[in-house]
Structure 1
Amino acid sequence: MSLAGRRALVTGGGSGVGACCARALAAAGAVVTICGRNAAALDRVAESAPGIAARVCNITDEAAVAGLFADGAFDIVVANAGVSDSAPLTRTTLDQFRAMIDVNLTGSFLTIREALRGMEGRDWGRVIAIASTASLKGYAYVAPYAAAKHGVLGLVRSAALEVAKKGITVNAVCPGFLDTAMTQRSIDTIVAKTGRSRDDARAQLAATNPMGRLVPPADVAETVLWLCGPGSAMVTGQAISISGGETS
């Protein structure tokens, strides 16, 4: 599959799944822009492969997100940026809740809205939100994160219906616990709060994925590429689970 001539944007592209998606899209021939808040991390990814340019951007800032599109529309937009936090719901502050909503849901809304605005009048476009299996079910101790990710899925399904007849697809990729730095931070939290070993904590998280292992970021990137390919033109408004579990 060739994406030569396509312009792609990946939010949260400085590490983990975002970096992996950016490299995969660039390898397929797309001209890729990555954005995030950590300039050094973004530069490392941009320097790791040809065809990737870096932009610093806070995706919760409406003007900043609009600025990403100032130089022209993108053909492919991967709304990947997100954060996670863990606490019992009864100990979760309003500020913590708002932080999860701001980055995971509001950031996705702003990104997807600008993506679709830029695609108006075109006959091809791919918008892909990197959501989570927390879009499909609840998880204890991450209620605000799950609420935000459920919102992302509602946003995706609704947007998909609005543009379904225009050659533009909008889908969500929903991985379980990933083999990324974000999961490593979750492991650190479990170790700190329970005294369990890192191996036990890692196994606990991996066990929530039906296949019993953490999801490789490359699997997410391959799914993103498939959604950009010719065999997926009729796939829209879908939540594609990458964990061996739920699909819809």
Structure 2
Amino acid sequence: MTAQPRDGTQTEQPRMTTAFAGRHVLVTGASRGIGWAVARAFAAQGAILSLCGRDANLLEQRRTALAGRHAAFVADLTDPAAAARIVELAIAAQGPLDVLVNNAGYGASQPFAKMASEHWDQMLAVNLSSVFHVTRAAIGGMLARKQGRIVNIASTAGLTGYAYVAAYVAAKHGVVGLTRALAREYASQGITVNAVCPGYVDTEMTAATIDTIVRKTGRSAEEARAELAKSNPQGRLIQPEEVADAVLWLAGDAAGSVTGQCIAIAGGEVMP
């Protein structure tokens, strides 16, 4: 069975396997876009999921849409206490944590000379500090068991610069740096830490970017979408399922020797 994305390409639905049978996977930002694609992919391979997000109704819809014993938790992960509590609740409900996917985040633009301090603080809180808070809460259990997989969803913005999104770029560079530091710190402890760095992905966040371009430039939505797709040498937007496939590999047994890597999924736009 296939889904038909807006760019016309065919995207395969996750095939049911047992590669992650019985493994507990916590996915933040799980109700939309990349996070939802990741959750679906892990569920299709037998994982036990803890889904975390802010939209309680949508999160519950997502949980019930997945076959299996899964849990959903609502939290603002920019709050250190809330992040720690969610990890605690997830482990109590679903057992020790095997895989953490830090996906929560969003992007917004402001010209640097006019950037409000509040915008800067919010971009770092949502895109970087949330990763710190959740990972810090989860790492103790992984260390005690001498095993774990952490996959951070960064961005090509963590590998290069883009105009008008300085705060977002700084935050995603921080995620890349944190990934590499933790990979080195825990390499001998049975824990791998990696990141995937997508370009423009066909998600709600990119749709909001297109809306902003339309509003500020007067271009049509089709023209704005084509402009974003041009940044990818393949001339298209990335599909969320493509990102999910990379996350599955990094979390799986075959990638046991892969750590500290920040993999660009961008059709050749960035080659770190």
TM-score, structure 1 normalization: 0.97
Aligned counterpart for 1:209 among listed residues 232, 235, 240: 232
Task: Structure 2: give runs of 5+ residues left out of the alignment.
Answer: 1-17
Q: Deviations over 1:39-87 (max 9, x none)?
A: 0111121111123321101111111111122225411000000011012
- Any idea what the Cα deviations from partners look like across 1:121-175, whole Å, max 9, x if unmatched? 2232100000000000000111100000000000000001111012110000000
- Say whether 1:166 aligns with 2:183: no
1:132 aligns with 155
> Do 2:87 and 2:134's aligned partners in 1 also have CA atoms closer than 8 Å?
no
Task: Report what 1:44 is aligned to.
Answer: 61
The whole-number CA distance in structure 1 between the counterparts of 2:205 and 2:141 is: 31
Corresponding pairs, count:
248
Selected match of 2:74 from 47, 56, 65: 56
- 1:24-173 matches, cutoff 5 A: 24-51=41-68, 52-70=70-88, 71=92, 72-173=95-196
Q: Deviations over 1:160-210 (max 9, x none)?
A: 111101211000000000000000000000000000010110011111122
Runs of 4+, deviation exceeding 3 Å = none
TM-score relative to the length of structure 2: 0.88
Alignment partner of 2:242: what SS?
helix
CA shift at 1:111, angstroms? 1.4
Deviates more, 1:196-205 or 1:83-92: 83-92
Tell me the C-alpha RMSD between the 2 structures: 1.1
- Residue of structure 2 aligned with 1:5, choices 16, 22, 32: 22
Asked if 2 retains the 8 angstrom alpha-carbon contact of 1:69 and 1:118, the reply is no
In 1, the alpha carbon distance for the partners of 2:143 and 2:228 equals 41
Question: Could you tell which deviates more after superposition, 235-244 or 65-74?
Answer: 65-74
Counterpart Cα distance in 2 of 1:202 and 1:244: 16
- How much identity, in percent, do the aligned residues show? 50
Q: Which residue of 1 aligns with 2:31?
A: 14
Gaps of 5+ in 1: none
Q: Classify the secondary structure of the residue corresponding to 2:144.
A: coil
Aligned mates of 2:42, 2:61 — CA distance in 1: 17
**Paired AA for residue 107 in structure 1:** S
Among 179, 187, 206, the residue aligned to 2:210: 187
User: 1:1-55: CA deviations, max 9, x gaps?
Assistant: 6111210100000111001101111111110011111101111211111233211
How far residue 115 of structure 1 moved from its aligned partner, in angstroms, is 2.1
The farther-off stretch of 75-84 and 221-230 is: 221-230
1:247 Cα shift? 4.3
The alignment partner of 1:190 has SS state of helix
Q: Give yes or no for contact 2:49–2:71 (8 Å, CA) kept in 1.
A: yes
Match of 2:222 in 1: 199
Counterpart AA for 2:23: R
